[in-house]
Each structure stands twice: as C-alpha cells, then as structure tokens.
Amino acid sequence: MSPSALPDNQNHNSDAHFESDLNLSLCGLGVEYPPFLVGPEALETLANRYYPPSAALKKVLSINRYTGIETRAAIGDVDHPLVNQPNAPSIKELNSLFRQEGVRLSVNACKKATQEWGGNLDDITHVISTTCTNSANPGFDHYVVKQLGIRSSVEKILLHGIGCSGGMAAMRTAAHVALGSSYRQKPARVLVLACEISSVLVRSELDSIDEEQKTRVGVCLFSDCASAAILSNGIGEDKSSRPVYDLLGWKHQIIDDTEEDLGFDVDPLGWKVVLTQRVPTLAAAAVSPCFQDLIQSIPDLQQSDQPPNAADFDWALHPGGSLIITGVEQAMKLTPEHLRASYEIYMNYGNSSSATIISVLNKLRESEGREQVVACAFGPGIALEMMVLRRRNTGASKTLTQNGTHEDSGFNGASLSHDQPSSANGVVSPNNDSQAGSMPSTTTTNGVNVNETTSTNGISTANLPIEELD
C-alpha cells in the first residue's frame, strides 16, 4: 500500500511510482471563514487614518484596487480594536487573538469535516495541522483537539515554515502517515487542519511601507480562514462512508535558488510577507515539468496510448495572486473554466495562505466537472506541491458551502473585477451579491500598468500588478 521507489534513467526528477490503488480518500471537507468580508476600501481607510501620504503608500493603494479581489475574509471590520491602536499590535497580542479566533475557526472547520465524514471522533488516529501566522507552544492544534473532545493521546504533527503550500503539505504528510498504517494493516483516519489569521497584520505591513518606502503587496492579498479534511486509508471504514476525493499521487519539489523570492519573515510585530516580481514567472515555469513527472508516476493515468494533458483535468490551484493564476493558466494551456474554483475563492475571499487549497477543493466539488483534479500550491522555498485526485462524484451535488449551508453551485462566469457593493468603511456584507464589472483594457495608475483584459467562456482575466515592486 505504499509508493515504491523505482529507478528512472530517463528523468531523475521522477523518483517514485505510485501503486495503482493507494486506497486513500478525503472523506470530509470543512471550511470556516470569519463573518466579515472587507473590500479594498478597508485598507485605504486604515492607511489614511494612521499614515502620512507617500509615494510608496500611494502605489500600494493603487495596486490594492486592481488585485482582482472583491472582498477578503477577516475576523473583524475596519474598526476592529486591534488594528486601531496607536501602534501595530505586538506579537503577544497577535498570539492571544489567534488563540481565541484561530482556534474557534479551526474547531468549526473540523466539525464540518467530521460531520460530512460521519465517523466517530474516537476513531481519529492522527491530527496534522499547519499555520504560518502563529508559532506558540503548545501549538494551536493542542487547543483544537481539546475543544473537539478528541482523546489527548491522538498523534499530532504541527507543520511550520511552509506558508501557502501548508495545506497541501499537510495532506501529503497525512497520506504518508496513512500509508504507514496501511503497511501495518491498521486503520488511519487523519484530521488535516490549516488555519491562518492574516488580517490583523495590516498595521505591521503599513508600518514597513511607511518606514522603508517600499511597495509591499502582501497587505493587499491575504485573508483569514480555517479549513479541514479527513483522510482515510479505508481499513475498517464504514461501507456507508462516501469519499469526496481519492488520492492518486503527489509530488513535492523546491525551485532552486529562490529562498529570497517568497517567504514570511519573523518580525517583532509578527511576520512580514516576502514576495518578489519573479514569483509568478518562476511558479508558472515550474508547473509543467512537475505535472509531467507526476502524471508519469501514476499507473491509473497511463491506461491509454495517449497520456492525459493538463486540460483533461480540473485544476484546484492555490490562488496566490492574479498573476500566479493567469500565469499557470497560460503555461498549461488551460481556460478560466478549468480554474473556476480558484478564481471564485480568490475574488470572494482573498488568499488565506495554507487554508485556501482545501477551500478551493471544497468549492470545486460543488459543481459538475472532470473526473480527475490537479491540486497545486506554492510556498516559501519556493516549494511546489502538486497532487492528483479523483472525484467520487463528477456531477453537481448538494454540499456544505463556506457558511455551512447546503446549496447547488456552479461557476457563473464571474470575472476578475473591482466593481462591487461596499460601504464607506470598506466592509461588505457577507450576503451581498457582487456585481461583475469590467476592467479597462489598459490602465496606468501611478506607473502601475494593468494590461489588457482577455475573456474566455465569459470569464475575464487580467495581468494585474500583484508582484512586489521596489
């Protein structure tokens, strides 16, 4: 039941082949966003309240209007006390907030995943968690397990230092753990958890923009979320269990000499985003060779004379930014429809770092789609995580939505736009329906170029300026 490493003289990057039936499945997914959705105006409101005008700040606020994000999920609105103090919150204050809000979101996400799975919490054998917005000891997973009522002896692993790729790295780690249990002929029910609280880092990022006079775009992208999944090796599983996805194979690799391009640096006031101009290009260029290696390592995908190409799959791409999404779309010759779930999550909730990928997978399974799915994410390193999954139900199904309700959902041709209803303070009601607007064909704002918008299948995309410009 474990992948067997086989020599490959033709491609040194293809270092493992997977067995035809790993018997690994995701049996439940849960996503919990906080109740507030803030529009681009929220950042401008805080900037104007606490910081003097400057060239760098002006450029960041211009970029903020053209990220393609209509609303971002946040634990509070623009008037939240923690971001309205005279100074940016300390790491002690950030930790206290995470201990409260992060644990609460995590518990709710886990409850949704376990509810869909339908099993007993006593059957959870392992908990594998990740976050890059908290580093306290014991980790937040300790408190989540305690509040859920899972036995204290459950085996826990908390992953750190992997940023936006954390959700996929946690699933990959869970798969290896479950395969180890399969080898021992023991059941494995692994609770995978990712949680990020990024919104309260806004003042720290604005401090750096003001003091260093650099264009830091992380402050325009990130949001809050917790997501969870139950991974099973099938041994002893109740026959009534209905898996959502089967895992067919996965791959992890590091793009050489990119440590300085993408990161989340430790700072006295929390963490600071590192994101250079090179990231979208590096990411897009790395996807194709990784995809080819992974496809070749999965026997189930080698049944015909013609190996599958990227367009034969639905794609659950971590929406790190609009240039990353459109870059991968172009590099892999995809259409926006292939990436519909990534676009929807990005536009409606923003980039919630490690917690986002499970949210994208959750959104993807709400609508009709292709049988196989490629999940992909990038993290510090630059690390590339990729996984191939098989849907158990390729048709639209009634599933738990982001707010825990049931509905049928499909891609409605939404566009990466910036015209949305919002209040004066930048807070958008979670129940408001965003109106898809149109982007100008070419716009220059304070030297920031927004390139021509193209439309495929009624879905607009744009080369938007989300990279960091010095």
Catalytic residue IDs: 164
- Please give the Cα distance from 456 to 335 (Å, whole number): 7
Contact 428, 421 (CB under 8 A): yes
**SS3 label, residue 25:** strand
Dihedral over alpha carbons 46, 47, 48, 49 (to 10 degrees)? 50
Dihedral over alpha carbons 69, 321, 207, 105 (to 10 degrees)? 70
Beta-ladder partners of 351: 222
Minimal CA–CA distance to 320: which of 283, 294, 270? Answer: 283
Minimal CA–CA distance to 218: which of 468, 450, 469, 418? Answer: 468
- Please give the Cα distance from 2 to 175 (Å, whole number): 10
Helical (H) or strand (E) element with 245: strand 245-254
**Residue 114 tokens, joined:** 């376990």
The CA-CA-CA angle for residues 367, 197, 31, to 5°, reads 25
- Please give the Cα distance from 130 to 165 (Å, whole number): 10
Block residue for tokens 């926006």: 336
- Please give the Cα distance from 165 to 270 (Å, whole number): 19
The residues near 311 (Cβ < 8 Å, ≥ 6 apart) are 332, 333, 334, 335, 338
